[in-house]
Amino acid sequence: MKKPHIQALSNFLTEYTSTMLSSGTYTARVSKCVGRIAQIYGYEININFFLHHFSINIVDKDDNSINRTYIIPNKHAHLNFKLILDLSALSWAIYDKKYDLENAKKLFYQISTQKKYSYALTLLLVSLGNAAFCRLFGGDFGGFYLVFLGTVIGLSLRYILTKIKIDLRVQYLICSFISSWIVFLGIDANLTKEAHVALGSSILYLIPGVFFINSIIDILKDHILMGLSRIISVAILVCCIAVGIYATLSISNYGILQ
């Protein structure tokens, strides 16, 4: 296998790293996959991860004077577990089958441009899942339908807010308030007898569970700075959710605030 030019490899690895990191995986996995690719091509790579950017240093093992260093801003995309899985598999395919760089680029392009699930399907499945939690926690069918409606409207609103580039924390606050308020309107109309369950379930779709898990894994894998940054961000988002539902309880004078 011919050793690729460092500039061509650098361009590929920075794009690969950025795409994989933005898909929602933990940083240790990204580091291993990128290091695996660099190793098979005869280069050494060092990456430092930060919340808003990452720095990448690529060095030729045969001549340390040949190197490249980049600081790349992080992209913030939606979670995509299939993309993470496919990109991880690509790193192993390059390592095991020793693809040249051009073939690796073609495979990467095919994976990164693959058709995504429609937003309507995602909206339906997430809303049904969130409503199912209401039933799981002891809610009735009235609460199920209210939570489903609240989740549909909340997710749709978040999609619109994301498109117009509203800050993520503001999105969480607004969506938490709107979803919980819709459920409260149903409670006020006596559409459910399990009001606390319905209200509690209305904002579950906003809980950033994956990001919390990633932050813990980052800390355990010695990416301390990235892990702490992520866990602080998660805590802020949870506070925004709490403020949103607190606003609903305050306006309605319901439940624990009575």
Distance CA 226, CA 47 (A): 12
Distance CA 42, CA 38 (A): 6
Distance CA 97, CA 148 (A): 47
Distance CA 234, CA 214 (A): 10
pLDDT of residue 257: 45
Residue pair 45/56 in contact by the 8 Å Cβ criterion: yes
pLDDT of residue 112: 86
Q: Mean pLDDT in each 10-residue stretch from start to end of the chain (258 residues)?
A: 87 93 90 93 90 90 89 82 91 91 92 79 90 89 92 92 90 94 88 86 90 91 90 93 90 60
Task: Sort 181 into a burial class: Cβ within 10 Å, 0-12 / 13-18 / 19+.
Answer: buried
Cα 49–Cα 72–Cα 104 angle in degrees, nearest 5: 95
Distance CA 177, CA 249 (A): 9
Write phi, then psi, for 225 (nearest 5 degrees).
-60, -45
pLDDT of residue 91: 93
Written as one letter, the residue type at 27 is: T
pLDDT of residue 40: 92
Bridge-based pairing of strands 67-73 and 53-60 is antiparallel
Q: Which residues of 55-67 are buried (b: 16+ CB within 10 A; e: fewer)?
A: ebebbbeeeeeee
